[in-house]
């Protein structure tokens, strides 16, 4: 009987539900460290912070058999590092982020409420276009609009679409989506990220409202 109980316990720990819980916990750590690196770390220290985060995120990806959720957060970490690093040297990290997001979509296109669409959209409009980089405004719009189809009330898809529209000079429409981002429901466990993102939304909204008028 004792051996049977031990066997059942092992099966329970090896079950997909336990694996999912374990992955969620690992991703939560990456999410909080990303928020810290993005919103609480001085600019001159962000490059080092994101470099460490990339390593941790990659470990989560490999430990979980390239789970799409893990790949998305490894991609987001690479994107953060590319932004902090800047210059031509950042391009390979942006490319790595793009490739991870594309791979994640092959497994589960709508993982994490379509976060891959949001991240791809932001990469395509922030990275320079040919011949320097892979930036493409048409692809950016397509991915960002797809992200909103999957998660219409989310703070991130609304913010990034608004930011994109503002960059294209579509200020009145940008104001609409900035306001939707501000009205987005709070994300449980993502309070640090929400606080930082809302500041970005408010700053973007002020600029868009001024230019729209």
Please write the tens of the pLDDT for every residue from 131-174.
Answer: 999 999 999 999 999 999 999 999 999 999 999 999 999 999 99
DSSP string for residues in 113-151? HHHHHHHHHHHHHHS-BTTTS-B-HHHHHHHHHHHHHH-
User: DSSP assignment, residue 15?
Assistant: S
In the prediction, which pLDDT does 21 show? Answer: 85
Which whole number is the average pLDDT over 52-71? 98
Q: How far apart are the first and last CA of the chain?
A: 76
**What average pLDDT does range 42-57 have in this prediction?**
98
Largest CA distance in the chain: 76
- Percent of the chain whose predicted confidence (pLDDT) is above 70: 91
Which tokens go with 110?
Answer: 């709508």
State yes or no: pLDDT of 60 exceeds 90. Answer: yes
Task: Tokens 């995120």: give the residue.
Answer: 57
The pLDDT tens digits of the residues spanning 102-112 come to 999 999 999 99
pLDDT at 10 > cutoff 70: no
Beta-carbon contacts of 4 under 8 Å, excluding residues fewer than 6 positions away, are none
């Amino acid at each position: 009987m004792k051996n049977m109980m031990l066997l059942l316990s092992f099966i329970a720990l090896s079950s997909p539900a336990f694996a999912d819980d374990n992955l969620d916990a690992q991703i939560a750590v990456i999410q909080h460290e990303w928020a810290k690196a993005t919103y609480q770390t001085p600019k001159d220290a962000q490059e080092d912070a994101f470099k460490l985060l990339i390593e941790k995120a990659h470990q989560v990806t490999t430990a979980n058999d390239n789970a799409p959720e893990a790949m998305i957060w490894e991609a987001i970490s690479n994107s953060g590092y590319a932004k902090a690093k800047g210059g031509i040297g950042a391009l390979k990290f942006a490319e790595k982020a793009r490739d991870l997001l594309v791979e994640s979509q092959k497994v589960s296109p709508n993982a994490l409420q379509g976060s891959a669409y949001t991240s791809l959209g932001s990469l395509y409009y922030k990275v320079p276009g040919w011949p320097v980089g892979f930036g493409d405004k048409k692809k950016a719009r397509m991915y960002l609009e797809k992200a909103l189809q999957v998660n219409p009330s989310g703070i991130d898809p609304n913010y990034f679409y608004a930011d994109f529209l503002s960059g294209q000079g579509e200020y009145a429409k940008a104001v609409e989506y900035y306001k939707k981002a501000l009205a987005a429901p709070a994300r449980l466990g993502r309070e640090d990220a929400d606080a930082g993102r809302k500041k970005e939304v408010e700053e973007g909204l002020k600029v868009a409202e001024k230019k729209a008028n």
